[in-house]
Amino acid sequence: AQKITQTQPGMFVQEKEAVTLDCTYDTSDPSYGLFWYKQPSSGEMIFLIYQGSYDQQNATEGRYSLNFQKARKSANLVISASQLGDSAMYFCAMREGQNGGYNKLIFGAGTRLAVHP
């Protein structure tokens, strides 16, 4: 069963506008972590933002914020004031369970974002 679902294979946004990348997840574990990574054309995986399942507030890191809706099991990434350098592949990931040292990190299929001038 798909644990991380990113339904948008590709997205376009105008420079300086905001964009939301969708992510839904499926887990029965009460303790989990949600991550977003950026992969530019150069290929490296760059960590952007993290949200813990027990965190009361939505995570923010500069222009990145995570819209965490626990009941809906969604963890959407919001990028404000898009820049040309934001054009990349974006992956949502989930870490399940810390008990017993179980800390598997699994990824969604990704969303390719293109920022237009």
Enumerate binding residues for another protein (CB under 8 A): 33, 35, 37, 43-45, 47, 50, 52, 91, 93, 95, 98, 101-110
The stretches of 53-98 forming alpha helices (DSSP H) are none
Closest separation between CB of residue 109 and another protein, Å? 5
- Contact between 83 and 17 under an 8 Å Cβ cutoff? The reply is no
By C-beta, is 36 or 82 nearer to another protein?
Answer: 36
Q: How far is the CB of 74 from another protein (least distance, A)?
A: 19
33 versus 88: smaller Cβ distance to another protein = 33
Is the Cβ of residue 28 or residue 99 nearer to another protein in the bound state?
Answer: 99
Measured from the CB atom, is 73 or 112 closer to another protein? 112
* Structure token pair of residue 70: 């626990």
Write down the least CB distance from residue 72 to another protein, Å. 21
Contact criterion met (CB below 8 Å) for 97 and 106: no
Instruction: Tell me how far apart the alpha carbons of residues 41 and 114 are, in angstroms, rounded to a whole number.
Output: 12
Residue 53 CA to residue 73 CA, distance in Å, equals 10
Q: CB–CB of 105/53 below 8 Å?
A: no
